[in-house]
Amino acid sequence: MRPLKGAICAVLLALAGLGAAQAQDEDPRVIAVTCDNPRAQAFSMRVAKEAAQQGQAPRILLCGDGAELALRDYEADPLQAAGADPQRMMRELMDQGATVQVCSALLPNTDYTADALVEGVGVASPEEAAALMADPDVRYFSY
């Protein structure tokens, strides 16, 4: 009887994990960061972290002045409430599976190259952004 109980528990745990993964895929959140204010940037990362902890799938889009977060040479002082600077918070989110991208206008319109970006940061295409905007299940937050 114990092997059967163990097998049933294993199947239930696998299904629970599958359900959590599906919930994350089905509940995307786009968090657009366009400002250069470290407090607003940090708050956006805290919101993304909370979204992930609630089973949502945060996608962080960095544009305009907010794209500085994606640069390897980004510097900011740690914020008291967070205990980290906004980029460190972003990197922690990436380590947990969050998608982080810069807008496609950044690299061709600045002196930066892809090598200047933090490892793992991608470039969002206009087509991808348009598809997300057309999806009624995607919610947007802007900072």
- Give residue-wise pLDDT tens across range 16-70: 333 334 344 556 899 999 999 999 999 999 999 999 999 888 999 999 999 999 9
Radius of gyration of the chain (CA): 18
Cα 1 to Cα 7: distance, rounded to the nearest angstrom: 10
Task: For CA atoms 84, 50, 114, 108, give the dihedral sign.
Answer: negative
Instruction: Please name every residue paired with 100 in a beta bridge, in sequence order, or none if there are none.
Output: 60
Maximal CA-CA distance, the chain = 67
Range name among 32-36, 91-95, 134-138 with the lowest pLDDT average: 134-138
Mean pLDDT of 68-97: 91
Q: What percent of the chain has pLDDT over 90?
A: 66
Helix locations, the chain, DSSP H: 2-26, 38-53, 86-95, 126-134
Q: 């470039």: which residue's tokens?
A: 123
